[in-house]
Amino acid sequence: MGTSIRPAASWRRLAGAAIVLAVAASAAGCAGGVSRETTGSVSRASGKPVDQLAASELPGAAASLGSAYAKDTRNKDVALRYANVLQMQGNQEQALAVMRKLVIDLPKDRTVLAAYGKALAGVGQFEPALDAIRRAQTPEYPDWKLLSAEGAILDQIGEKAQARELYRKALDIKPNEPSILSNLGMSYILDGDLKTAETYLRNAVGQPGADSRVRQNLALVVGLQGRFDEAEQIASQELSPQQAQANVAYLRSMLSQQNAWKQLKAEDKKKQATN
């Protein structure tokens, strides 16, 4: 769900945006992983694993990592972490620019290819993203993070059956992994099956290691079902009260507009039937 909901987006676009973030979560640390050590003058917050950063920590992490990246653009660990944080903030184009530079420097590095794939997905370049993710994968020793990332991209292009098959393969390798369960939940949101989506997302939130994005995705699906107070309560565990209230207020408005359109269409059909 991210840190805020942008006006003029449909709930399906919100789910799609959340799946792009899921690609980021899935691909982060793929193919061997990224060092979690703090580099140079990077702040304490940005030294944490990216998937453990709270929304309030993102600006400071982005500033510190950006400063470290400017000093050494070839530093793989810093570049990967910086791109991840940029994506979590919604700065998709900037994240892709960072990864384009790194993939030129390290064209055969599987970790870099995986991260480049998720950066491409972040700006809607899904076919090149799939190519990069698949080149990073090793079929004889499949990486569950790459399987999940590939599934998230396939969901974005409407290949939901293939996407869910990949999620289940990933779960065979890494049972009860919250990021995979969250991706499955978001897949069902895109399909309009909110009850099934909520089941997967509640399961994901209940697993050790569930991060902020998983909980925000649960808040999204709860809000989409009209349970706004509950959604705000879930969201406020990660966001400021003001951000949580703004998200839920937008969900209310969006769903109200949806219902109004449905009523207009129903009236239209009645008129056509009587003519």
Structural domains in the chain, CATH included, are 11-210 (1.25.40.10)
Which one, of 170, 162, 186, 104, lies nearest residue 137 by Cα? 170
| Residues contacting 113, CB < 8 A, separation 6+ | 31, 103, 132, 133, 135, 136
Residue ranges in the chain modelled with pLDDT below 70: 1-48, 51, 250-251, 254-275
Task: From 224, 264, 227, 233, select the one nearest 5 (Cα to Cα).
Answer: 224
Q: Do 80 and 46 touch, CB atoms closer than 8 A?
A: no
- Pairwise CA distance, residues 103 & 117, whole Å: 10
End-to-end CA distance of the chain: 44
From 87, 180, 100, 190, select the one nearest 142 (Cα to Cα). Answer: 180
Give dist(CA 236, CA 64) in Å, integer: 26
- In whole angstroms, give the CA distance from residue 211 to residue 109: 27
- Residue 74 CA to residue 70 CA, distance in Å, equals 10
CA 193 remoteness from chain centre: 19
pTM of the model: 0.73
Largest distance between two CA atoms of the chain: 74
CA pair distance 143, 241, nearest whole angstrom: 38
Q: How many CB atoms lie within 10 A of CB 241?
A: 10
Helix extents (H) in the chain: 11-27, 58-71, 76-88, 92-105, 110-122, 126-136, 144-156, 160-173, 178-190, 194-205, 212-224, 228-235, 241-274
If phi > 0 it is left, if psi is from -120 to 50 it is alpha, else beta; for residue 2 that is left
Structure tokens at 243: 């951000």
Closest-CA residue to 103 (of 87, 119, 89, 90) = 119
Determine the residue type at 206.
Answer: G
